[in-house]
Copies of this chain bind each other. A is one copy, B any other.
Amino acid sequence: MSDTSTAQGGRASRLSGTVRIVGAGLLGASIGHALSAKGVDVVLSDTSPGQLRLAVDYGAGRIERADDAPSLVVVAVPPDVTADVVEAELARFPEAVVTDVASVKLEPYLVLRGRGVDLSRYIGSHPLAGRERGGAISARADIFIGRPWVVCRDGETRPADLALVEGLALELGATPLEMTPEEHDRSVALTSHVPQVVASLLAARLADAEDSALRLAGQGVRDTTRIAASAPELWVQILGANAAPVVEVLDALAADLARVSDALRDPERGGARRTVAEAIRLGNEGVERLPGKHGQNRRFEQLVVMVDDTPGQLARLFGELGELDVNVEDLRLEHSPGAQFGLAEISVAPASLRGAIEGLEARGWRIAGTTND
């Protein structure tokens, strides 16, 4: 989107005031890095002096001063203390807009409302960004680029305040997306919280499995359980704070699971094979709907080129693709240990595919296949 850079440029001045970030963990420190790099005055605060020092040392911002008057406060603390910290920041900085980046949006909002807090300056938000590793040490300015950043406005929200929070998202390369807290929580239950539960429970079944069984594990189970490496403390909070939408999806999933189990248990019953086939087919459909599929982008065509395992070969390949005026949109190198060559899976615009194949073959490259074979 070319408008991202325009927006970034246009909005830069919006964040010319001081931005205060409470919580110097992965998200807080990453926001701090990105804003500091753009010359924004960033104040960091954290209950852990060690975490704070680390984030400051790494350039995510500065220590607070008594006379700080932030125009924007970003609360980046664990979900179960988000409401408390938002309330305290609203009280302490009566001129500031306060946002938070917690991955659950309804509960903190309801807690604040329940306490009668004036929410006209509070705008909940949630950048869909993260890494498996947490903490200031893992922070990176680029984790928001191209990611959605949900912003929950309220009836009382002033347009200028909304623009400030959306400007923050744009500044970091993210795409602001307005949702209600309920809509957000239902969505992440489906696309984030339930996948976490499922991955964890599946991985948990491996915890006491026989060694020989684990030796047979391949990429499939590794991918399916990758996020099971996430931190229990954080996830108990997230799941607890979004329990109702999560339970709704889990119950539906349990019913689906029982249907497949029953069909496998009693294959002679009418429609049993069809039940199983239908589950797999519907899974095909669901995975097709995910944006940016793993390893292949559907807007592009893929071709697979064999590349000798010697330095300089990739340079030659990309040099020649450049000569052919082919832009590489995505790329994945498969490299089996022991093999004499790797396979470069290259994504190109559909209009470039034919020329890329012919041009590369004319230059002696071996095309192992194309995705649409």
Instruction: Give the interface of A toward B (CB within 8 A).
Output: 1, 4-5, 128-130, 133, 135, 137-138, 140-143, 145-148, 150, 173, 175, 177, 179, 183-184, 186-188, 190-192, 194-207, 209-210, 212-233, 235-236, 239-240, 243, 246-247, 249-254, 256-258, 260-261, 264-265, 267, 273, 276-277, 279-295, 297, 306, 309-312, 314-315, 317-322, 325-333, 335-340, 342-344, 368-369, 371, 373
B140 touches A368 (CB 8 A): yes
A145 touches B338 (CB 8 A): yes
A250 touches B239 (CB 8 A): no
Give, as a whole number of angstroms, the nearest-CB distance from A289 to chain B: 5
With a cutoff of 8 Å between Cβ atoms, the chain B residues found around residue A306 in the complex are 142
With a cutoff of 8 Å between Cβ atoms, the chain B residues found around residue A373 in the complex are 135, 137-138, 140
Q: Would you mind naming 28 contact pairs between A and B with Cβ atoms under 8 Å apart?
A: A1-B337, A140-B368, A141-B368, A148-B215, A173-B339, A175-B338, A190-B206, A191-B209, A201-B256, A203-B283, A203-B285, A204-B256, A206-B287, A207-B285, A207-B286, A209-B286, A220-B227, A224-B226, A225-B283, A226-B287, A226-B295, A228-B280, A229-B283, A236-B277, A311-B325, A319-B319, A330-B342, A331-B344
Give, as a whole number of angstroms, the nearest-CB distance from A278 to chain B: 8
With a cutoff of 8 Å between Cβ atoms, the chain B residues found around residue A236 in the complex are 273, 276-277, 280
With a cutoff of 8 Å between Cβ atoms, the chain B residues found around residue A252 in the complex are 205
B337 touches A203 (CB 8 A): no
A369 touches B140 (CB 8 A): yes
C-alpha gap A267/B236 in the complex (Å): 11
C-alpha gap A28/B260 in the complex (Å): 30
Q: Which residue of B lies closest to A251 (CB)?
A: B261
A205 touches B194 (CB 8 A): yes
C-alpha gap A318/B317 in the complex (Å): 9
C-alpha gap A215/B293 in the complex (Å): 12
Interchain CB contact (< 8 A) of A221 among B191, B267, B321, B343: B191
B311 touches A240 (CB 8 A): no
B216 touches A280 (CB 8 A): no
With a cutoff of 8 Å between Cβ atoms, the chain B residues found around residue A233 in the complex are 277
C-alpha gap A146/B215 in the complex (Å): 11
C-alpha gap A338/B320 in the complex (Å): 25
Q: List the 7 closest pairs (A to B, CB-CB), nearest first.
A: A146-B336, A200-B283, A315-B318, A206-B286, A203-B286, A1-B338, A187-B213
Give, as a whole number of angstroms, the nearest-CB distance from A191 to chain B: 4
C-alpha gap A205/B288 in the complex (Å): 12
With a cutoff of 8 Å between Cβ atoms, the chain B residues found around residue A327 in the complex are 309-311
Give, as a whole number of angstroms, the nearest-CB distance from A280 to chain B: 4
With a cutoff of 8 Å between Cβ atoms, the chain B residues found around residue A311 in the complex are 321-322, 325-328
